[in-house]
Each structure stands twice: as structure tokens, then as C-alpha cells.
Amino acid sequence: MPCATPSSTSGSREPLVFLYTFGIIVGDTHKFQSRATEVQLLLLLPAVGRLMMDCDGYPRVPMPLMCTAFVPGRIDAAVAGISDPDSRAIATAEALYFRGQAALAAKTARPYLDATDSALRYSACFICGYASLSLNRIADARRCLAGILDTPTDEESPAVHATHILFASAASVLLHLSSPYSAEEFYPLAAHLPEGLRLFASYVMAHALYLRGEYGRSLGMAENALIMKQGSYPISELFLHLAASMACMSLKDIDAAKTHFGVAWNIARPDGLIELIGEHHGLLQGLIEACLKTQYPDDFARIIEITYRFSYGWRRIHNPDSGEDVADDLTTTEFTMAMLACRGWTNAEIARHMGVSPGTVKNRLSGVYAKLGIGTRAELVTHMLR
């Protein structure tokens, strides 16, 4: 079945509108003003905690591009519209990273790894940490991710504590390691974050639920966040639609999975935001092959290249830290078929989903068994889903 892909906005004539998500606090209301269009918007949100100010007197926020509302296809204008030079440099690094340019992203963010401003430091550690996985710089990745885990002092503002909990949890969950914080510790502080980061936090919690096998709750978390959002935040929405796709695949709701993936692709494609799709390859369980391989062969090839590069670095931290040995020798196709087999899919179902013959699936799974030194699907489940 072809992917359900809603029409892309990239070819539309919508006016350039993006919104940097902190403005002037007016009583219990935030007054936001776009720095490009002078358009103002009032949102009823709680007052934020203390954050360091940028060059315009606005509170500086972590991952400023993730916290900027813009129309898909206008990411470069969104970055250029951030007037604070340090925040704009971090936003540039974000754009490079999400476009799959790990080396340039790390180079751009590296000067801020020791910044006294927590928003800049957390952003740089997160970007450089994950970029270093793709670059196979494991020692650098460990140092950056350890910097995220450093606990702020009690004197820090609620906004800084919320940021710390979010990024410490993300750094752990995205490596499939236990989070140092519970959702209950984060909830009272969540309102101190801008909307883009709250959406990203919903993704992190949905991902954690997915890893616990709570696929229905994971899907609900992602879809509720998408329904309740007030602005257009392509980076965070891309994360959420990928999480929803993962959950739907594990629930064997293939049509819904393809719909969410189609939306994710329409968000990613206009700006070339392919990194996250490649990073989620195994969890998407064949959606990339089913939706992109034939229709977008060049993009598919780049995404698979990212998958191999990132997953190699990911395993070099995950495996020793978790005491597990996650499928080091499997190709992306073998890994996908193995995951689907573990979820109870028959060879015929896997073949139909991935557009190959049942015989091909049987042969590929036989190769998987040989590589892993196992002989049955029960052993495969034990190996792949532990």
C-alpha cells in the first residue's frame, strides 16, 4: 500500500511567518513578537523561570531552532531571523545536524560546550554529543552527554531545572538507557519551558513508553501533543510523528503508521531534515523502505547511509553501558525483518509490507539466524527485544 502523504506545504505561497518563542511577560500572559514580521501574538502561558538574556533582552532558550515556529521549507530564514548571535549560531548547528551534516554541526556548536549560559551549554552538549555518534567520536560523545547529566545547583531557576531534566532524560532515553528522572519529577516544571521544548519533552516521554512496551500510551502521548500544540514547530513535530509511527507499527496499525510517517516526511523533505529519519530506522520497522525506497531513491540512499553511520556509534555506547549486544552484524534490511518477526509478523506479512517475496524474507531471516547463532523465532525474540 502506498504511503498516505498529505500534500506538502513546500510549494505553497504562504507568507514567511516564524516566531521565536519567548517575548515580553505581560502579567500572566506572554507577548510574542516575530522578529521578521513584527506580527504579535498573545498566548496565555505561565510565566517562565529566570533565564539569561540575549542581545535583545529576550530570555535565551535551549535549542532555539526547535523553539522557533516556522513553515516547513523556511528553516534558513528562521535561523537568520534569530538576532542574538550566540543563539543564531546554535540554531545554525541544529539545522546542520538535522540535515545530516554532523561534522559541521559539531564544529559550529563546539565553542559553546563550556558556556556559562546554561541554554547555550545544554544545546551544544546535545548537538555535539549526538553528532559525535555519527562521526564515531565515542569519547567526545560520552563527554558531551556527561555534561548534560551534571545536576544544576538548587539556586538555579525552575526553567533551568526543567531544561536539565528534559535533556538528561533525552540523552538517556535516546540511547535506550534508563532515564535518571521520572515523568512525575518533570511535570511540575514543564510549564517553564517554551512550547517547542514541551513538544520535544512529549516525544521523549512517548519514546520512553515505547521502550517499556506501552505502545498505546506512547501513541496517545505523541498524538495528544500534536493535537494540543499552538504553533508550527517542524523539528519537534517531526520527532512526534516518528514516535507515533513507531507505536502504530508495534500495534500493527500499518495505515496509521504510514499516515504519521507521511506527515513526518512532508515536514522533513522541504528542508532536507533527514537525520532523524535515519536515526529511527530500526524502530520504524520497514516504513522507510515501504514509503521512500521506490519514490525517493536518492533520499532513501542518504537516509540509509545515516542509519549505518549513526547506529554504529550508538551501539558503541549502548552495548557496553547496557550490558547488551544489539545486532552488530545485521544489515538494515535484516534488522528490520528481524524486528517484524519478533513482533509476531508472518513471512507473508513482512513480504507484503516490504515489497518483496516471502521466499526472500525466509532467506533473509535464515541469514539473521546464522549471524546471531540462533535457530528459532523464540531465540530471535530473546535476542532482539531484551
Rounded distance, CA 141 to CA 102, Å?
A: 12
Rounded distance, CA 76 to CA 84, Å?
A: 15
What is the gyration radius of the CA atoms in the chain, in angstroms? 21
Alpha-helix residue ranges (DSSP H) falling in the chain: 75-80, 85-98, 102-109, 118-134, 138-149, 158-173, 183-186, 195-211, 215-228, 234-250, 254-268, 275-279, 281-284, 287-292, 297-322, 332-342, 347-354, 358-372, 377-384
**Rounded to whole angstroms, what are the CA distances from 244 to 72, 178, 190, 303, 364?**
19, 21, 21, 19, 28
| Residue stretches of the chain with pLDDT short of 70 | 1-59, 151-155, 318-328, 384-386
Task: Return the pLDDT at 153.
Answer: 63
pLDDT 10s digits, 249-283: 999 999 999 999 999 999 999 999 999 999 999 89
Question: Three cell numbers at 258?
Answer: 504510514
Rounded distance, CA 156 to CA 385, Å?
A: 40
User: How many other CB atoms sit within 10 Å of the CB of residue 132?
Assistant: 24
Task: Return the pLDDT at 349.
Answer: 87
Beta bridge partners of 20: 68
pTM listed for this prediction? 0.81
**Rounded to whole angstroms, what are the CA distances from 251 to 220, 246, 350?**
12, 9, 15
